[in-house]
Amino acid sequence: MNQFTFNILLADDDVDDCDFFKEALEETSVQARLFMVHDGVQLMNYLEKNAPDNLPDVLFLDLNMPRKNGLECISEIKQNKGLAEVPIIIFSTSLDSEIVETLFKKGASYYIRKPGDFSKLKKVIENALTTASAENFKQPARASFVLQS
């Protein structure tokens, strides 16, 4: 059976979090190629360089990054016709209800609070990818927007 291979882009300035994400992804049943950038400027450069034919299937976006934060990035992505369809899963340590609401309104596909536990991280990454892809990465109802680990 041929399984779809996801091209995943992770935008996160924390190298330890990136390594943690990579290791967790490798231990899921999901087939994926992972690309990483470490700040918002690198993210936007990567997307613009790879548009329109080589965009990621999904972007995991941290909010607190240097040079350009996740809120600025999602605004730019959603305003750019060539990038607006890239599914964005917010991946942040924060779970501020106002920020979650803002990101929902800006068009993020899902919101994940980074778990500190490795097994929970594996579970939430796999759940995010299987749930989101089953829904064609369309934004769910607000009640299902935040994915729990």
* Segment 102-119 mean pLDDT: 92
Q: Quote the percentage of the chain above a pLDDT of 70.
A: 97
Query: What pLDDT score was predicted for residue 119?
Result: 92
- Model pTM? 0.92
Q: Which of 58, 37, 71, 65 is nearest to 128 (CA)?
A: 58
What is the spatial distance between Cα 84 and Cα 66, in angstroms, rounded to a whole number? Answer: 22
* Segment 64-74 mean pLDDT: 92
* Segment 82-97 mean pLDDT: 90
Residue pLDDT, tens place only, 14-37? 999 999 999 999 999 989 999 999
